[in-house]
Amino acid sequence: MVEKLRTKGIDSKLVTDALNEVPRHLFLETMLDYMAYEDKALPISCGQTISQPSTVAFQSQLLAAEPKMKVLEVGTGSGYQTAVLCAMGLSVYTIERQKELYDESTKRLKELGYKAKCFLGDGYAGLPEFGPFDRVLVTCGAPKIPEALLRQLKKGGVMVIPVGSEHQEMLHIVKQGDDIGDISVQKFGDCKFVPMLEKLNY
Ligand code: SAH
């Protein structure tokens, strides 16, 4: 799988090593695990999806993170992307709004030995008490850039986020100054994610 990712421009060793290490089949229902190493998005609980490996790799590479950095992930889902970030040596905080997914992924990550800090909450609010973060990675499609997440990003920090309603564009945002208006934005093509929704779902 990782060889195929290289042909798609994924050349960060930190990222390819992490994808090689994390057993994606353990993040899927047994019925689907035979497809785990194909480059496909697959269904998980609550009508959500585990992103396709090339998307996980692409977002992880865009983060341009270095080991030990503090990263906030919005949309824990299955916990696969969370595990990849942990395998990259990052200090990972992850937030999920669906209770069922939060319970499943928290248990799974713990059992597999990934030391992510998992939270049940609304990613629009982020985790102000644990910020600021070096990096923010959003794994659901946001209608616009959430201000709270920009506020919780360190100066010089990077946010990778798909923005748009039906379809999204992958944005790479650098917070240039202390002000949340002081950002530079680069676009990295169209993509399709499940929507970023407000409030919790029990
Ligand atoms: N990173 C996940 C991708 C899951 S799909 C993985 O590797 O499996 C995106 C996830 O974002 C879904 O689980 C969805 O419930 C969650 N989500 C949507 N809106 C959210 C919000 N406001 N706060 C937190 N999580 C949210």
Q: Does the pLDDT at position 202 exceed 80?
A: no
d(CA 18, CA 21) in angstroms, rounded, equals: 5
What's the pLDDT at 201? Answer: 79
Task: Specify the number of domains making up the chain.
Answer: 1
Question: Cα angle at 136 between 81 and 8, to 5 degrees?
Answer: 50
| pLDDT-derived band at 2, boundaries 50, 70, 90 | confident
Question: 74 alpha carbon to ligand 1 midpoint, in Å?
Answer: 6
Q: Best mutation site among 48, 93, 106 for ligand 1, i.e. most ligand atoms within 8 A of its Cβ?
A: 48
Q: Is residue 197 part of a domain?
A: no
Ligand 1 site, residue 142, Cβ cutoff 6 A = no
Mean pLDDT taken over the chain:
96
Which distant-in-sequence residues (6+ apart) come within 8 Å of 7 by Cβ?
none
Region 4-18 average pLDDT: 93
Could you count the other beta carbons within 10 Å of the beta carbon of residue 194?
18
Inside any domain, residue 90: yes
User: What range defines the domain where residue 49 resides?
Assistant: 2-191
Decide: 24 in ligand 1 pocket, CB within 6 A: no
- 202 falls within a domain: no
Is 138 part of any domain? Answer: yes
Q: Is 199 contained in some domain? A: no
Q: Is the pLDDT of residue 4 over 90?
A: no
Catalytically active residues are: 51
**Residue 60 pLDDT class (50, 70, 90 cuts):** very high
Asked if the structure places residue 187 within a domain, the reply is: yes
Residue 156 CB: number of other CB atoms within 10 A?
A: 10
pLDDT in tens, 96-134: 999 999 999 999 999 999 999 999 999 999 999 999 999
- Among the listed ranges 6-10, 62-66, 104-108, 187-191, which one has the minimum average pLDDT value? 6-10
Q: Are 77 and 70 in contact (CB under 8 A)?
A: no
The CATH number of residue 23's host domain is: 3.40.50.150
Assess if residue 198 is contained within a domain.
no
Residue 120 lies in a domain: yes
Nearest Cα residue to atom 13 of ligand 1: 77
pTM here? Answer: 0.97
pLDDT, average across residues 27-44: 94
Kindly list the distances between the CA atom of residue 175 and the CA atoms of 18, 61, 135, 151, in Å, as whole numbers in the listed order. Answer: 26, 18, 10, 9
